[in-house]
A and B are shown apart, each in its own frame.
Chain A
Amino acid sequence: MPTRAPDRAPRDLNQSATTGGVGDSPTRPDGPLKVKGEFAYSSDLFMDDMVWGATLRSPHPRALIRSIDFAAALALPGVDAVLTHEDVPGCKLYGLDVRDQPVLAIGEVRHQGEPVALVAADHPETARRALKLIQVDYEVLEPVVDARRALFDPESPRVHPDGNLVRHQPVRVGADVDDPAVRARCAVVVSGEYEVGIQDQAFLGPESGLAVPAEDGGVDLYVATQWMHNDLLQVAPCLGLPEAKVRMTLSGVGGAFGGREDLSMQIHAAMLALRIGKPVKMVYNREESFFGHVHRHPASMKYTYGATAEGKLVFADVEIVLDGGGYTSATSNVVGNAASLGVGPYVVPNIRIDSYGALTNNPPCGAMRGFGAVQACFAYESMMDKLAAALGLDPVTIRQRNAVTQGDKLATGQVVEAPAPVAEMLETLKALPMPAPADTSDLRNLPGSTANTTHGEGVVRGVGYGIGVKNICFSEDFDDYSTARVRLELLGDTVGALVHTAAAEVGQGLITLEAQIARTELGVEQVVIHPADSSVGNAGSSSASRQSYMTGGAVKTACEAVRAAVFARLAEDHGRDYDDLSLVGGKIVSHAEGVIGTLEEVLAAGPIEETREYHHHRTDRMDPFTGQGNSHTQLAFAVHRAVVDVDIELGLIKVVALDLVQDVGKIMNRLSLEGQLHGGSAQGLGLAVMEEIQVRDGKVRNPSFTDYLIPTILDMPPMRMEILENADPRAPYGLRGAGEPPTLSSTPAIAAAIRDATGLDLRRVPIRPEDLTEVPTDA
């Protein structure tokens, strides 16, 4: 048992709603707390005797550590402890997929910002001063910063002893793309080289949490994470504790977007708390946050496509290089995604794809919304436009001529089993009304806005399209199951359902959905959402747009089990069998006999509780040589049309419209869903025109919200959306994961619109003003 709970520990969220089932739009159970400022985020936790933890990070991207002298730091009044790798109680390495990351650097640092030492002190400022007193003697080495060199130049230094390659995933389909017979079938062959900069998740809630030492020698951890059980799997061994002694509770999460899939302060805070026997709170500031989590992989991609005169694709020759930075993190799976979705939702008879993930001394990269599919999507959609231009076709036509539909094969040979009306979605999108010409009487409608840079002169409008296909749930033979516990009981004189999972609500609205499913399946109004913690089984990660599918599926399955147990108890009471029962509005109804009992009566004998796991169907690994295999669980499609005004003299951009058609299988909650589609589109807009972690010689040059820009309310246009519901028969309620696809398609749509306006061949996102004016602004 935990020794003590902090003030503002997460608590039950109780919500009663009469129209709050699947398909309705009940409001969030945590909404009232959030608008009152009472929702306990991981940075809000407090205990009277807590102290503050802080992290010393390497200023160098690559260096050897000759010595660490922390005597002066330890002597500073108010400092409780200074720890280095020698103090890690258990395993000294951890990692999401591969344990290659030191808890604290051991003799060497492999990226700027790598944690080297920890301090605990009575005030965050004391802790900061103590960090400054720690003397680390570094032998600075030349960093490995070019991913292609790291991979292909045998002379390149090795970032890790095993070399710089994390994964090479080829995909081979049909004939050799160099075969003259293949080339002879092409009326045109076009090539492009594309780059994607490093994008940051930039969640607003900084990495933070509280570790409370417990009487049993264990620790209670209150943290903001995406996947509690995977944290546990990494944290416990490093602390040298059995998993049962590391109890994790999800505290309020201020956004995630992939950036909380890897550990940040979890082990560090726990180490400090166990060492000094006091609760330890850690909160990164924004600058530290830029170093405290992995980012979206930057990509360098070479594409060559051949097509017939009608615009049918004949071959695709693709090389994708993803820079994973200093440690492996999720790179291997990001490489797999980029490979399997490397040509997107198009039928291509002959394919050669080579997707690589490299280790370098650049910032570590891992999961971010879209996960490998985003980078490829920018390239393959740019190629479709290039092909259209070469053939004199319009961008919609070329896409429709090649788009997959149900029954077609992806590059991996996987047959698209659920409906995939991509061509029709484009038709719907094209038919949406276009925005009016810019009203130049209000500067706020123009590029540059109130900076008064133009009154309309030099402003050109462009239109562009983008299609994205994203795999939903984990792929490649990963059984990312989820678990839910559901209890039906009398709460005073009403019947309530308690839902308990370890699934991370990160803002996406999962708990709203859990309550909706419980209402629909159990016919109750009152639902209580128990705080997510590690006392219930694994729910998998809040990533890959998978929680509606997986934890939604687990809650549904647990509810079905509860319902069956209710019927069984009633049948036993009545001493007979029924085979025609249903649960409607708190009453148990026999099809033949009408109402035969109420939930109140059945539950008077005690609550009914069931815990169930939900697994999706098995998927295959990709063949290591051909990439073939049914590797994906589910596919989801989104298409965007962007309309952009560009001030071609200054290179300023205003996205005027960003319209979307997406197939979600089933609208579970329109309000939450629309919020996901807006938010996902906004992140794609950010990648298209403003967001990049700028790195030079392995060092980050803009770790702040002053210099790393994310879209503001002035940058986002109003969005028109058409949401389709072509059910996926294998998924719960027919739903498809929805959060990621719009992040894929909005970036290339905006890039295409800017190309359309300017006539420039823009090969890189984010597109900067100097890319449009060819005058460097950074001279």
Chain B
Amino acid sequence: MEQTQSFWQFVAQQQDKLWSQTWAHIGLTMISLILAILIAVPVGILITRKQKLSGVVLGFAGVLQTIPSIALLGVMIPFLGIGPKPAILALFLYALLPVIRNTYTGIMEVNPAVIDAAKGMGMNKWQVLTRVELPLAFPVLMAGIRTATVINVGVATLAAYIASGGLGEFIFGGIALNNSNMILAGAIPAALLAIILDFLLSLVQKINLKSIRVTYLILPFIFISLSSFYLLPTQIGGRMLGGFTPEFMGREDGYLGLKKIYHLGIETVVISDAVMYKAAFDHELDVISGYSTDGRLKAYGLVILKDDRHIFPPYFAAPIVRQDVLDNHQELEGVLNQLSGVINDSTMTSLNYKVDQLKQSPEKVAMDFMVAHQLYKPAKGATKGTIRIGSKIFGEQYILAQMYKILILGNTNLAVETKTGLGGTKICFDALTNNQIDFYPEYTGTGFLVLLKPDKKTIEQLNGNTDGVYQYVSNEFNRQYKIKWLRPIGFNNTYALMMRKEQAQSLHIESITDLTNHLNQK
């Protein structure tokens, strides 16, 4: 579906977005950096005076830096919410170590004879610091600032995960959409930014300072107040705020469709799905894009808005099996179909909830379910061969794989080997076609849009047509790959818009159309 569009066309088309992302990126980097310098330089100086503290302080700053960036961003959300604030704090923490360490090393490396001479000539402590120690430590200190800058430009891309903007929006959107132009439109400016900032700072580094004047310290404050303007838009906020994943933002069957078909006019931020649900729960966001069977739906008290105009394609799950496997084991198809129609959306949501939120093992959750629905039978004993079940790398797929394992063991004489955690769609499907696994659960929408990639006309024709899509993938998979789609399990794990239950109820919003009407009201 990716139109053959050149990189430059993409850039030209997305110019405005690119500029705003670049500015946001510079803003995030520079504000956090300057804050870090304002704190880290005095701390660095302090630990040259109180050597005993140096180990503790450097150790602490070092530990901060080993925290994975995503985790650090995640930890901030409960305190600071989403948006630039937690991102700046995280970047600030990352920048501390290089600046503190280099301030410390720089000052410690100043020739003691020179400091001695300074004192001996009658300079007071402040004069020794500002005229001798800091100017002489300056190149080393600047090296630390350069390191911090380059780190921050890189880490700031991750800020896109928590709705802070920046070039990460393109990068992660591009990765999610498999759109290399989009990835490059984010990655190239980010790299250039790192190179340019580093170069400018290298020029500063070469300046021979005779003394550090207090007036220099005022400049950063001016800079911060100027650059903080970029923060304002998200801080004013509208009536309702939507938080969508980078992938969702770029998809026709996502945000683009919402705008086109529903004329939804909502203020949006880009955010990672790892923190999106929690942010909605915490009232940071009002509307989010999620998956309809996600366990967090239940955990955070969210409801799905009805897609009354059918922009989200159906993603019904069903096992897809290589035809030769079915031919060799005639009994298999009937056994696997025992699960068909058994699990609906809310059942799947609560099963996922048990695995993702309550941290129960997929084996236990599957077993409990099968026992409760009289689908469990003791294993018959394997004599006839082995079936290899694959699954993608998330909870729902693990659960389904376990359920099929129980069915096969209880109803056939086949042994089962599970190959779970096969990364994404592509990896799973390749494993299937290359005879490394025999079947795995797939979703109709994924088979349709990702694996078959039909032309635009077919997509529009079948849009929202559940049976039509199922028929289409069944036929095409059989024809192209000799792979059979068994009957759907029942639930539809599709994109969905979600809101907090109380808010949706109090505003009487049940469908996306209701939401649009509500937003257009005033």
Instruction: Report if A and B associate in a common complex.
Output: no
